[in-house]
C-alpha cells in the first residue's frame, strides 16, 4: 500500500489553515462573546446575591421594627389600663367625698331644725308658763282649782306640740 504523502500533507496543511482561520475569525469572537456572557452572568449572580443580602437585612430590620412596635403598643395598652384604673379610683374617691359632704350637710340641717324646734318648744312652754302664772296670780284659787288649771294647760300644751 502506497501512502500518498502529498495528499496527506495537503490535507494537514488545509486543516491547519482552516484551524488558524477558525481560531482567528470565529473562535476568538465566539470566546469573547462567551466571556462577556460569563461576565454578565457572574455580575447578575453577584447582583442577585447582593440584592438577596439586602432583602434579608431589610426583612431583619422590618422584623425588629415590628417587634419594637408591638412592644410599644403593649406598653401603651398597659399605661392606658393603669391610667383608666387610677381615674376610676379617683372618680370613686371623689364620689365618696361628695356623698360624705352631702350626708354631713343633711345631718347639720337636721340638727339645726331640731334645735329650732326645741327653741320654739321652750318659747311656747315659757309663754304658757307665764300665762298660767298670770292667771294663777290674777285669781286666787284653792288647791283643787289650781290642779285643774295646771292639768288643763298641760293638755293644751300637749295638743299644740
Predicted structure pTM score: 0.43
Q: Tell me, what's the pLDDT at 22?
A: 84
Distances (CA, A) of 76 to 62, 70, 71: 21, 10, 9
- What is the count of structural domains for the chain? 1
Helix (H) / strand (E) element for 48: namely: helix 28-138
Instruction: Say if residue 125's pLDDT is above 90.
Output: no
Residue pair 117/150 in contact by the 8 Å Cβ criterion: no
Give the C-alpha separation, 151 to 145, whole Å: 10
Lowest mean pLDDT among 38-52, 67-81, 130-144: 130-144
Mean local confidence (pLDDT), 4-13: 88
Domain range enclosing 52:
5-160
End-to-end CA distance of the chain: 170
**Angle at CA of residue 114, ends 113 and 119, nearest 5°:** 95
DSSP assignment of 89-135: HHHHHHHHHHHHHHHHHHHHHHHHHHHHHHHHHHHHHHHHHHHHHHH
Amino acid at each position: 500500500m502506497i501512502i500518498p504523502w502529498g495528499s496527506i500533507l495537503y490535507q494537514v496543511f488545509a486543516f491547519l489553515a482552516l484551524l488558524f482561520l477558525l481560531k482567528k475569525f470565529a473562535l476568538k469572537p465566539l470566546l469573547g462573546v462567551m466571556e462577556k456572557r460569563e461576565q454578565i452572568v457572574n455580575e447578575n449572580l453577584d447582583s442577585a446575591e447582593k440584592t438577596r443580602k439586602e432583602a434579608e437585612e431589610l426583612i431583619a430590620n422590618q422584623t425588629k421594627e415590628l417587634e419594637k412596635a408591638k412592644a410599644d403598643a403593649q406598653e401603651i395598652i398597659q399605661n392606658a389600663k393603669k391610667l383608666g384604673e387610677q381615674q376610676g379610683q379617683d372618680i370613686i374617691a371623689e364620689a365618696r367625698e361628695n356623698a360624705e359632704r352631702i350626708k354631713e350637710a343633711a345631718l347639720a340641717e337636721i340638727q339645726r331644725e331640731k334645735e329650732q324646734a326645741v327653741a320654739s318648744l321652750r318659747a311656747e312652754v315659757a309663754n304658757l308658763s307665764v300665762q298660767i302664772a298670770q292667771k294663777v296670780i290674777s285669781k286666787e284659787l284653792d288647791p283643787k282649782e289650781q290642779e285643774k288649771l295646771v292639768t288643763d294647760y298641760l293638755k293644751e300644751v300637749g295638743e299644740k306640740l
